[in-house]
Structure 1
Amino acid sequence: MASERRGNRRRVAHSLEAVVDAAVQLLDESGEAALTFRALAARLGGGVGSVYWYVSNKDELLDRATDHVLEGVLTALDGIGADADPIDNIRTMAETLFAAIAERPWLAAYFMRNTTIQSNALLFYERLGQQVMRLDLSPRRCFHAVSAILGYVIGVAADLGQDPPPEVVEGMVAAGDHLRSIADQWRALDPADYPFMHYIVDEFDGHEDIEQFRAGLELLLAGLRLDADSPASDAR
């Protein structure tokens, strides 16, 4: 019966690739809330039924949109050196994925959510794991290392990729001034109750998000290097 209904639908002149491209555009412009089949059909110039010809539901559409973007991430990593230091390669892969998610925060919620559809996400996971394997860690340590790196990259990228406050978006307040206003709030706290905030507030004031990300990544990679160099690493 379902096949009969699908057979009766009028196919318009677009493809699965066109549907996914248009979905990514809507997500980039206005976020997940704007991605409806009605809005997508209007963007494509067809009826809602024509979208259902290519995808079954919104979850599938989001998974395919995510995988489409990750194809570009893999393409950007095509030239990664097979013989280069694995830690350097891991850094490059992490920074490339971070840039993609920071630009498109909606990616964070769907990365590797459905690897049956997301073949590119699975391939990224595999290639990152292959670099970690070159450090001669045990299977458990490899699994934990890859999980820690991906968790850090995705979490920080999603956090830093959030839209700034409306006054910053609308240009009423400069981004630097907004950051400074938060720093000034911290400076007004009682140093006896908030010694750490006072200790780091000058570093926070005017910091660059990408440098903050890279600093945390280097801490992770330094720990991974130590773990790989430890004679007892295979036993853990």
Structure 2
Amino acid sequence: MADKRSGTPGKQAQPMQDRIEPPLSLERIATTAVEMLDAQGVSGLTMRKLADRLGSGVMSLYWHVDNKEDVFDLALDLVLEYHELPQVDKSQDWRAEVVHMLEDWRARMLRHPWSASLLPRRALGPNILARLELLSKILSGAGIADEDLNVAIWSLWNYVMGATITRASFNLTDDDMAAGQQRLTRLSEHYPTIERSRLLLDNDWDGAFRKGLDFLLDGLFPR
């Protein structure tokens, strides 16, 4: 997203602390917004607080963005930037690139938990669009027919989003999980399968994500 105006704001005298701050830019606004969202969550970010953190006036901030929704868009797109897996021959190992891309997507959202709640309702920025374009290109090159490509993309999207939101919101302690499993043991007559698998004690989130992704990719491309 480019700055929406050219030129500079009016030339009123600025306090000394304003003059020594780096100049405002969309990149600096986005970076600062991410820091604030990480610390305070979505509800903690206001235009006044953001302007104060940037060392600028609110009107100077509005010179670059229209409203807080623009700030959310910038922050979300910044954290979803993707750097391709190096030294991969995509014609030979498309699966490694897909796995890397989706694991990176999940990891980035887990580092910034607010992003998972914002993504479904935000305008898609250039970074997430570039990620989806690359994913579509890899799947298409690997043999997914055009009529099935959207289904494949949305299936992977839904898997990443569901796994991320579940992990980010599942904050049970070890004691909580143990107590839950003990309750299942007492009720094993009614829930024998999940009691036997010790479902509530399984906290291998990364392993479950990776194996589940393999299941999904195997369905798209049977080995």
Q: What's the TM-score, normalizing by structure 1?
A: 0.78
Measured against aligned partners, the alpha-carbon deviations of 1:155-175 in whole angstroms (never above 9, x if no partner) come to 21122123736xxxxxxxxx4
1:37 aligned partner: 47
Measured against aligned partners, the alpha-carbon deviations of 1:9-31 in whole angstroms (never above 9, x if no partner) come to 97963222111111000111121
Q: Secondary structure at the match of 1:136?
A: coil
Which letter maps to 1:186? L
- Aligned mates of 1:179, 1:146 — CA distance in 2: 34
Q: Considering only aligned residues, what root-mean-square deviation do their CA atoms show, in Å?
A: 2.5
2:91 equivalent to 1:83 = yes
2:61 equivalent to 1:60 = no
Which residue, 123, 128, 132 being the options, matches 1:114?
123
Which residue, 135, 140, 146 being the options, matches 1:128?
135
Which residue, 124, 128, 139 being the options, matches 2:146?
139
Kept after mapping to 2: 8 A contact 1:108/1:155:
no
Distance 1:80 1:121, change over 3 A: farther
1:170 aligned partner: none
1:192 aligned partner: 189
Measured against aligned partners, the alpha-carbon deviations of 1:115-144 in whole angstroms (never above 9, x if no partner) come to 3xx011100000011111022222121111
Q: How far 1:198 moved relative to its partner?
A: 1.5
2:13 equivalent to 1:16 = no
Distance 1:185 1:80, change over 3 A: farther
Which residue, 96, 108, 111 being the options, matches 2:104?
96
Q: Secondary structure at the match of 2:221?
A: helix
2:213 equivalent to 1:221 = no
Measured against aligned partners, the alpha-carbon deviations of 1:38-92 in whole angstroms (never above 9, x if no partner) come to 1111211122222211111111111111111122xx1254554333322222111
Which letter maps to 2:150? F
1:157 aligned partner: 164
- Aligned mates of 2:134, 2:220 — CA distance in 1: 17
1:182 aligned partner: 180
Q: Secondary structure at the match of 1:75?
A: coil
Q: Secondary structure at the match of 1:81?
A: coil
Q: Secondary structure at the match of 1:110?
A: helix
Which letter maps to 1:177? D
Kept after mapping to 1: 8 A contact 2:136/2:149:
yes
- Aligned mates of 2:189, 2:160 — CA distance in 1: 34
How many residues get paired? 208
1:233 aligned partner: none
Measured against aligned partners, the alpha-carbon deviations of 1:190-226 in whole angstroms (never above 9, x if no partner) come to 223223332322x541432111211211110111112
Kept after mapping to 2: 8 A contact 1:26/1:35:
yes
Which letter maps to 1:208? D
Where structure 1 has 5 or more consecutive residues not aligned to the other structure, the ranges are 166-174, 230-236
Which letter maps to 1:178? D
- Aligned mates of 1:120, 1:80 — CA distance in 2: 21
